[in-house]
Every structure is written in structure tokens, then in C-alpha cells.
Amino acid sequence: MKSVVLFFICSFLPQILFAATCPKSSQEPARILRTSSGFRLMACGYEEKEKPLRRDRQQMNDFQVYWQKDQEEPKEIFSASAQENFWVSAKKNKLKLEELWSVNGEWMPALSYVASCDRKTCEMDKPICVLKIPRGNFPKVMKDLRSRLQMKDRGPSPEITKLLSQAFALALKGNNEAQTFFIQDPRPSRLDGELGEEWEAAKSKIEKAKKLRCM
């Protein structure tokens, strides 16, 4: 009987001693996947728990993805900033990340990343485009936006934010003038602070979309 008890203790002890924790933190991963090849894939960072989602996914930003073998040091294979939002989910032996873009006020998956493991290591695949071209036409948005930016009094920021969002959607639809505004023209001097950050974020996403031939 004692030998049976000792067997179970020895079997489970490594899992107790080397329970997965996030590097440089005592927190548990927001999402953890144990693969059939014996690796752990862990997403560590900020989870937006107040957002209602499907039970099999989490929305995260400002996070990292690590892989780990037994008690070895975790190795980072992906990192997202506080300005980048993702859906994180697990499917079989893979961890799936869907990068979310706010397009005309609506969050939608734009790029998909998959972390997987073989018998020796784990890695993050290159992203693929899953963006659905947004609906809606904004025939006057570039004229209205440029006119507003030239005014001495810009008016309330929400109006500028709305016009920037519509211009971003128009650029994703392939409009040359909107694309030029973000990726060729210098940032307008009147776009500073949060508005400047929104312009920079849109520029980065359009460049990603063009590189991956999303449009």
C-alpha cells in the first residue's frame, strides 16, 4: 500500500513543483495549453475580463506568449503592446491569436497567428490575413477631414476621431487618397496626443495590410 501511495506522490510531485507561472511574476497564465508533445504554451498578461466573449476565448492586450518544457526556463515567442488587442484561444495542440482592429467603431479580426510545437521546440507562425473589407462608403470623408484639420479651431475631438476612423476604413477598402494620407503624407501637425496615436496606429495597420495583401 505504501509503495502505491509513493508512486502517486512521485507521479504528481513534478507537476506540483513546476506548476506553470508567468516569468518575472507569481501570476498564473491567463491561458495555458499543454501539448501532446509535452510542452506548455502560455499567454501571460492583461485580460479584459469585463468583455463578454465566447467561453473558449479571451481578449488580451499587453501580453506575451511563452513555451516551456518541464521545469526549464520559459522562452518568449510573441509579444503584444497595450495598444494591440487580441482574441486568444486554444485548439487541439495549437494556440491561436487573432489581432483585432477597430474599423469604423467595430472590433474585427484582421490577422491570425498560430503557435504550435513539434518534438523539439515551439514557434509562432507568420500571420495570415483574415480581414473582411468593411462595408459602407464615405465619399466626403477625406474632404471633411482635411478641411477640419486646416481649421484654427479643430472642434471637439470626437468628431476628428470619427473622421479618422472612417478614413482608416476607406483606406482598407483600397482608396488611394486615404492610403496616401496615412502612409505617404507626414502626420498632420494638428494631430497630437491621442489623435496622433490613432493616426500612427492606423498607419501601422495599413502597412501591415498591404504587406500581407489583405486588400
Whole-angstrom Cα distance, residue 121 to residue 201? Answer: 33
Full-model pTM? 0.81
For position 129, what pLDDT does the model report? 95
CB neighbour list of residue 114: distance below 8 Å, 6 or more residues apart: 94, 95, 96, 97, 124, 125
Are residues 99 and 172 both part of a single domain?
no
Asked if residue 97 belongs to a domain, the reply is yes
Are residues 147 and 110 both part of a single domain?
no
For position 155, what pLDDT does the model report? 60
Are residues 117 and 175 both part of a single domain?
no
User: Domain boundary residue among 108, 129, 150?
Assistant: 129
**pLDDT, one tens digit for every residue, the chain (215 residues):** 444 433 333 333 333 334 568 887 778 899 999 998 899 999 999 998 776 677 789 999 999 999 999 888 999 999 999 989 999 999 889 999 999 999 888 889 999 999 999 989 999 999 999 998 777 778 899 999 999 898 876 566 778 999 999 999 999 999 999 999 999 999 998 898 999 999 999 999 999 999 998 88
Asked if residue 189 belongs to a domain, the reply is yes
User: Domain boundary residue among 129, 156, 188?
Assistant: 129
Are residues 124 and 145 both part of a single domain?
no
Domain range holding 28? 20-129
For position 52, what pLDDT does the model report? 63
Are residues 173 and 99 both part of a single domain?
no
Cell numbers standing for residue 86: 487580441
Asked if residue 121 belongs to a domain, the reply is yes
Asked if residue 4 belongs to a domain, the reply is no
Please compute, for residue 69, the number of CA atoms within 13 A of its CA located in the half-sphere on the CB side: 7
Are residues 110 and 152 both part of a single domain?
no
Whole-angstrom Cα distance, residue 167 to residue 180? Answer: 11
For position 81, what pLDDT does the model report? 92
Asked if residue 1 belongs to a domain, the reply is no
Asked if residue 57 belongs to a domain, the reply is yes
Are residues 99 and 178 both part of a single domain?
no
User: Domain boundary residue among 129, 159, 187?
Assistant: 129
Are residues 145 and 125 both part of a single domain?
no
Do the strands 122-124 and 106-117 form a parallel or antiparallel pair, or are they unpaired?
antiparallel
Question: What count of other Cβ atoms lies within 10 Å of the Cβ of residue 186?
Answer: 5
Q: Residue 49's closest CA among 41, 39, 58?
A: 58
Asked if residue 9 belongs to a domain, the reply is no
Q: Return the HEC string of the chain.
A: CHHHHHHHHHHHHHHHHCCCCCCCCCCCCCEEEECCCCEEEEEEEEECCCCCCCCCEEEEEEEEEEEEECCCCCEEEEEECCCCEEEEEEECCEEEEEEEEEECCEEEEEEEEEEEECCCCEEECCCEECCCCCCCCCCCHHHHHHHHHHCCCCCCHHHHHHHHHHHHHHHHCCCHHHHHHHHCCCCCCCCCHHHHHHHHHHHHHHHHHHHCCCC
Are residues 85 and 170 both part of a single domain?
no
Are residues 123 and 176 both part of a single domain?
no
**Per the structure, how many domains does the chain have?**
2
Are residues 149 and 124 both part of a single domain?
no
